[in-house]
Amino acid sequence: MREYGFELALCADLEADDRVVSRQLGAHVHGRRIVDTVVLEPGPEFDRRAEITDRTIPGPAVETSVGVGRARDWREVFPDRRPDRARSLVERGVEIGFFERERRHGTLHVRQTARYPERWFDRLIGIENKPDLDRPGDLKRQLRQDVALGLFDEVILATESYVTGAHLNRVPEAVGVWRFDPDIGDREVVREPEPLDPAADGTEIIAERPGRTEIRLVDHEQKRRARRRLAERAYGKGWRPTELPGCANCDPSADSRAVTVPFCTFHDRIVEPAVECGAECPGYQSAEPPAFDRERERAADSAWRPDPDGHQRRQVGLDRFG
C-alpha cells in the first residue's frame, strides 16, 4: 500500500471517541515541518473549547487581548498587522463564532464570544508514517527535529516493514516504533516512545548541510503557542478527505474499514485522488463522486463535535464593514 493509503488506514485505526486525529499538519516554529499524523488527547477544559466552534480558531485571534469584556475598535485588535490582514482575521473570527461584532458611533467593534480555555487539550502525539523503511528519505532528519524541538509529548514512527535492529539504530532512541498492517488494522508496538518535555525549551533544526547544521533555540513560551496552534489545526481539520473521486470504481463500501475512504475496486486499495485518479488511469470510468457525510462520520467516531450551540455560527462575513 502506498503512503497515502497507509496513512488513512492508520488514522481510521487510531480514531476513538476520547481523542481527535488529524493529518498533514505543520509542527514547527521557525522552520518548516509537516507531520503525517497528529493525535490530540482532550484536557480538562475540552468541553468549553468544543462549545465555541467546530473549526480552527486562528492563533492571532486567540493571542489578541480583545477578550470578552468591553468591545474594542477592530483596528486596535491586531495593531501589528496590515489593515487588510487584520480585517481578514476579524472576519474569520466572526464567521466561526469566536468574535461577535457591534457598531458604536459608526465604527465596528468586536469582542470574544467566550473566554478561550487554555487547558482544553492534554497530550499531542506526533506520528511519522513510513510504510517502507528501505526507502527512508529524510526520515532520520525529520525525527531528529521532532525530538529536538519537543512540540509533542511523544513521537512515533509507524511502518509496514519488518523492523530490524539496524532500522532501530537509525531512529532516535526517544522515538517509539509501531508496525502496522493497514489491511487488517493490526498494530504491534515494536518500541515504546520515551516521553518528551513540551514545557522545556527546545532546539529547532532549520537546515542541514555537509559539515554544518543551522538551528534556532525555541523557548517554552514559543512552544506553548506553537502547540496551541497545532492543536487548533488538528481539531478543525481532521483526517478524512474532503471529497471522493468521480469514478465508478470508487466504492468506499468495498473496503473493510467502517469509514469512508477513497477505495478503488480497480486497484483493490485506497488511492490518492489528486495523484492517481483521472482520465490517465486505465480503470477510470467517469461517474458522480460517492456521497458521504464527512462531518457526521467524524462526530460519530471521535471527540470532535460539530455545530456547537450557544455561540454565533457561520455568519456571512462583515457585510456592514466600513
Confidence of residue 312 (pLDDT cuts 50, 70, 90): low
Q: What is the mean pLDDT of the chain?
A: 91
pLDDT digits (tens, 9 = 90+) for 84-124: 898 899 999 999 999 998 888 788 899 999 999 999 999 99
pLDDT for position 83: 86
Confidence of residue 318 (pLDDT cuts 50, 70, 90): very low
pLDDT digits (tens, 9 = 90+) for 9-58: 999 999 999 999 999 999 999 989 999 999 999 999 999 999 999 999 99
pLDDT for position 107: 83
Query: What ranges make up the beta strands (E) of the chain?
Result: 20-26, 34-42, 72-73, 99-104, 107-112, 121-129, 154-159, 176-181, 186-191, 202-209, 212-218, 263-264, 269-270
pLDDT for position 309: 78
Confidence of residue 76 (pLDDT cuts 50, 70, 90): confident
Report which DSSP code applies to 285.
-
**Residue 20 CA from chain centroid, whole number:** 9
pLDDT digits (tens, 9 = 90+) for 166-178: 999 999 999 999 9
Residue closest to 62 by CA, chosen among 77, 50, 51: 77
How much of the chain is in helix, strand and coil states, percent to nearest 5? 30, 25, 50
Query: How large a percentage of the chain has pLDDT more than 90?
Result: 73
pTM, 2 dp:
0.91
Residue closest to 219 by CA, chosen among 204, 235, 239: 204
Residue 279 sits at φ, ψ, to 5 deg, of: -60, -25
Average pLDDT over residues 239-256: 91
